[in-house]
Amino acid sequence: MPKVFIHEVGLRDGLQMESEIVPTGKKRDWALWLIESGVDVIQLGSFVHPKWVPQMADTDDLFFQLTDGKKQHGTIFSGLVLNEKGLERGLSCGVELFCMGVSASETHSQKNTRMSIEEALGRTIRMAKHVLSDKRKVQVSVQSAFGCGYEGLVPEENVLRIVETYLDSGLTSISLADTAGHADPNGVRRLFERVMGLSERIQVACHFHNNFGMALANCWAALQSGVTWFESSFGGLGGCPFTAVPGGNVCTEDLVHMFQRMRIGTSIELSRLIETATPTIPISLSIILNLE
């Protein structure tokens, strides 16, 4: 069976909607626990204006704390950027993998970035090329790839056009994100097979939300299509604040458990991952913040 890779996004996508600010020290502790579990990539935060996403105001500080001195582990730290200012911040504080993307929905694009799809696409490609010129890794995404909370169905051709533009620009690491949680396994398999048929050079990731309880099934469908990179959140936390009805991410510990039961290759220590996630499940975030 293929080896799969986990990109843990709980510290960014998982927390961005929470109204009560999580202290930097608590985020750092969670990151260290996730590192100990052996996840492949941890998204520590996003470089956005704190006015729009207050929970991410300490992203620079968190990167500095976790990258101070020589790393003693193989986990990669990623960060989300939306504009050139965010990119500048990320370059200065140790981001190893830059994540950036474009929505396939015009309405979602405007709400999320205050740009049209075409404006966002041009800007994203310019930033991604800057990252590559700096000898760092970059992953570009198509958000609302399986549907939009405002517009409903998003034509697959819209997604394919964006992916083809990425590929034509030399960007081959591409994530399809189910931002609104509208995906179903049949649609997932069909779209990923079409995307992966565009180029032999492409490395595809998936990002599913669990609005209708199908995120895990959608991950299975993506795996069947040849996807080996999975973005997930410990405790199933998360949701995009700029979509109509936010839903949590696919739960990392559920995803890893499924893979391990199926003897699919991942070296993540599930018990340590569960220890990290357990406080987030049965009690409110306000209580979690007071735990020692």
The predicted pLDDT at position 288 comes to 42
Return the amino acid letter for 184: D
The predicted pLDDT at position 265 comes to 78
The predicted pLDDT at position 267 comes to 85
Q: How many angstroms separate the CA atoms of 143 and 232, rounded?
A: 15
The predicted pLDDT at position 291 comes to 43
CATH no. of 5-288 = 3.20.20.70
Nearest to 13 by CA among 117, 128, 130, 143: 143
Is there a contact between 10 and 233 (Cβ–Cβ < 8 Å)?
yes
Which tokens in the block code for residue 274? Answer: 């569960």
Helices (DSSP H) in the chain: which residue ranges? 24-37, 59-67, 84-92, 106-113, 117-133, 156-168, 185-196, 215-224, 252-261, 270-277, 285-288
Provide long-range contacts, Cβ within 8 A and 24+ apart, for 159-164: 159/104, 159/191, 159/195, 160/194, 160/195, 160/198, 162/102, 162/104, 162/117, 162/121, 163/195, 163/198, 163/202, 164/198
Is there a contact between 267 and 74 (Cβ–Cβ < 8 Å)?
no
The predicted pLDDT at position 51 comes to 87
Tens-level pLDDT at each residue, the chain (292 residues) = 679 999 999 999 999 888 889 999 999 999 999 999 999 999 999 999 888 889 999 999 999 999 876 677 889 999 999 999 999 999 999 899 999 999 999 999 998 888 999 999 999 999 999 999 999 999 999 999 999 988 999 999 999 999 999 999 999 999 999 998 999 999 999 999 999 999 999 999 999 999 889 999 999 999 999 999 999 999 998 766 555 455 689 999 999 999 999 999 788 999 888 888 775 543 344 444 444 4
Q: How many angstroms separate the CA atoms of 59 and 87, rounded?
A: 12
Predicted model pTM: 0.91
Q: How many angstroms separate the CA atoms of 240 and 145, rounded?
A: 14
Torsion angle, CA of 186/190/193/197, rounded to 10 degrees? 180
Nearest to 130 by CA among 63, 84, 82: 84
Nearest to 241 by CA among 9, 36, 3, 16: 16
Count the Cβ atoms, other than its own, within 10 Å of residue 134: 11
The predicted pLDDT at position 283 comes to 38
Q: Is 251 a catalytic residue?
A: no
Among the listed residues 148, 219, 240, 251, the single catalytic one is: 240
The predicted pLDDT at position 175 comes to 98
What are the DSSP calls for 266-282, one per residue? Answer: ----HHHHHHHHGGGTT
Which tokens in the block code for residue 143? Answer: 């958000």
Q: How many angstroms separate the CA atoms of 249 and 115, rounded?
A: 25
